Chain A
Amino acid sequence: DAGVTQSPTHLIKTRGQQVTLRCSPKSGHDTVSWYQQALGQGPQFIFQYYEEEERQRGNFPDRFSGHQFPNYSSELNVNALLLGDSALYLCASSLGQSPYEQYFGPGTRLTVT
């Protein structure tokens, strides 16, 4: 049973560039949530996708956008990168929008120089 997978593992970008991160949910899950974890901090909720629509959004600017595909996989896009966007980006999957347990992927480490 495959767990949550994310790609790439890490990447380095320059300020002003754009980046796309990818996530495949755990088998049987249909809901994907994205979190940003800065160094030494707890993860912060970015947004959640269910039925290919953004259902909830945290306090992040419009530079952060996403997409969910029919196979439930998801992408996180960040435009006009800032140094402060450097963080570990975590994807979590769950079944539906009920308050069930979320399963997290290994994360993508983004460094903006």
Chain B
Amino acid sequence: KQEVTQIPAALSVPEGENLVLNCSFTDSAIYNLQWFRQDPGKGLTSLLLIQSSQREQTSGRLNASLDKSSGRSTLYIAASQPGDSATYLCAVRPNYGGSQGNLIFGKGTKLSVKP
């Protein structure tokens, strides 16, 4: 059974710091991995999608890496800003022998960036 774990559960940093959020998953048979941002009480905004054949994706100050064999992904945020404060969710899409499953989420990392 696929399980997704995110560490740390919460993180508080001063503005301007570079930071790394971690995501691990138990089964390497995945189609892709997606990072989302969620503001309090709101829906999910997709940040980056990494296909299983890719090693990383970049968008602006965000960089996500994927090591499928070790079941790990990291989200790197450069020069953090107070507006980055949110919960960051990692989700994997399982590959069931060629048939895709639906997204399995971690519990998220709640990030607070202090001015």
Contacts and interface: CB of A to CB of B under 8 A. Distances in A.
A33 B102 contact: yes
B46 A44 contact: no
Interface residues of B, number: 24
B91 A42 contact: yes
B76 interface: no
Q: Is the interface of B mostly helix, strand, loop or mixed?
A: strand
Contact of B43 (A40, A44, A104): A104
A98 B100 contact: yes
Interface residues of A, number: 27
Interface of A: 4, 6, 33, 35, 40-45, 48, 56, 58, 88, 90, 92, 97-99, 101-107, 109
Interface of B: 4, 31-32, 34, 36, 41-46, 49, 89, 91, 93, 100-108
